[in-house]
């Protein structure tokens, strides 16, 4: 799990520093930093970049959100959606969790932390299996 978190951190930073990101770019980057094929596949499975529908448009930020997020943070959030790293539901989850914090201005580093947490949570749900989880016990 530790290597998975390191790989996700690297991917999150790579997306921030790169203009164009594809699944192949991410795989090549992770391989060049020493990750094995199975570890790369685990990370790419969580990102699930190939299963997204064609790009549906940009997310518009409300006036309140524009006052809370820095321009860089909003651009990074858009990039996560455009590249297919996060679907709209995951993106909204991250945005809502960030807004619920008591920070006056939210920057890219805070967004990265929440994205990492969201992707790790997604990974743990994959590991548990959808059928094994019962929310209500009788």
Cβ within 8 Å of residue 120, ≥6 positions away: 4, 5, 8
Distance (Å, whole) CA 116 – CA 53 = 23
DSSP code, position 69? B
pLDDT, residue 77, reads 93
Segment among 41-45, 70-74, 130-134 with least mean pLDDT: 130-134
pLDDT digits (tens, 9 = 90+) for 41-62: 888 888 766 554 555 677 899 9
Cβ within 8 Å of residue 16, ≥6 positions away: 76, 79, 108, 112
Distance (Å, whole) CA 123 – CA 47 = 9
Residue 130 has pLDDT above 70, yes or no: no
Residue 13 has pLDDT above 60, yes or no: yes
CB half-sphere exposure, 92, CA atoms < 13 A: 7
pTM: 0.72
pLDDT, residue 80, reads 87
**Are 74 and 37 spatial neighbours (Cβ–Cβ below 8 Å)?**
no
pLDDT, residue 56, reads 60
pLDDT, residue 129, reads 55
Percentage of the chain with pLDDT > 90? 35
Residue 20 has pLDDT above 60, yes or no: yes
**Are 40 and 7 spatial neighbours (Cβ–Cβ below 8 Å)?**
yes
Range 54-81 average pLDDT: 87
């Amino acid at each position: 799990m530790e290597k998975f978190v390191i790989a996700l951190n690297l991917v999150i930073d790579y997306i921030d520093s790169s203009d164009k990101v594809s699944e192949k770019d991410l795989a090549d980057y992770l391989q060049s930093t020493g990750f094995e094929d199975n570890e790369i596949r685990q990370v790419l499975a969580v990102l699930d970049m190939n299963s997204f529908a064609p790009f549906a448009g940009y997310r518009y930020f409300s006036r309140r959100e524009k006052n809370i997020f820095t321009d860089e943070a909003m651009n990074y959030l858009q990039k996560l959606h455009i590249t297919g790293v996060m679907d709209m539901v995951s993106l909204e989850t991250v945005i809502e969790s960030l807004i619920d914090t008591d920070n006056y201005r939210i920057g890219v580093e805070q967004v990265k932390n929440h994205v990492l947490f969201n992707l790790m949570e997604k990974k743990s749900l994959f590991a548990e299996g959808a059928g094994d989880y019962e929310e209500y016990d009788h």
